[in-house]
Amino acid sequence: MLCTGCHTGTLAPSFIEGLFKAHTCSDCGGDWVLIEDYAVWRERHPDYEFAKGIYFEEINITDTKEAMLCPVTRTIMRKFKISATDTHRLDYSSAVGGLWLDKGEWELLVSGGLAGSLNALITDAWQRRIRQTNAKDSFVDIYHDKFGEELYIKIKEMREWLNAHPQKTDLRAYLMAEDPYSA
């Protein structure tokens, strides 16, 4: 994986703190961390002290030269600053749930007691993703309970057929009208 930070190095598998998987750039020393791996680290450190009053502030990228691209998807990552410090920046790819930390950034976050607060950023994005999946699942359950298996399958098929039909608008109007034959 080519480094999108320095554009010259490659991202090779590594272990941050010997605890969680990351990829580290051979040239600039930046770290690419997946939130799954970070979440595992957090679980193993339940007693980690959160620094108080930390929040992440999204920086609006006006100059695309400031933007960093996600090494996986090559799309622009969101840039955040950590409010309490004003010096730390991190880039976040919501597409793959990956974080970019410049060289030494992780150590700085740890020494500043901020490493645990990455959670605030990550879990928020993470849970939004989980919530979306859950919402979809629970709607399936609701319809399933309401219609029963057979009817649910049938109505779902009808819906898919209707939505794929070139005359769907007219067909829907016909279907929904109380009396489609009245003026």
User: Residues in the site for Zn ion, rule: CB under 5 A?
Assistant: 3, 5-6, 9, 25, 27-28
Task: Give whichever of 7 and 168 is closer to Zn ion, judged by the CB atom.
Answer: 7
Shortest Å, Cβ 103 to Zn ion: 8
Task: Give whichever of 28 and 120 is closer to Zn ion, judged by the CB atom.
Answer: 28
Structure tokens at 64: 């695309």
Q: How many CA atoms lie within 13 A of 167 on its CB side?
A: 5
Task: Give whichever of 107 and 124 is closer to Zn ion, judged by the CB atom.
Answer: 107
Distance from the first to the final alpha carbon of the chain: 64
DSSP state of 148: -
Residue 24's DSSP bridge partners are: 12, 31
Shortest Å, Cβ 59 to Zn ion: 21
Task: Give whichever of 5 and 97 is closer to Zn ion, judged by the CB atom.
Answer: 5
Structure tokens at 120: 């605030």
Q: How many CA atoms lie within 13 A of 41 on its CB side?
A: 22
Shortest Å, Cβ 106 to Zn ion: 15
Shortest Å, Cβ 77 to Zn ion: 14
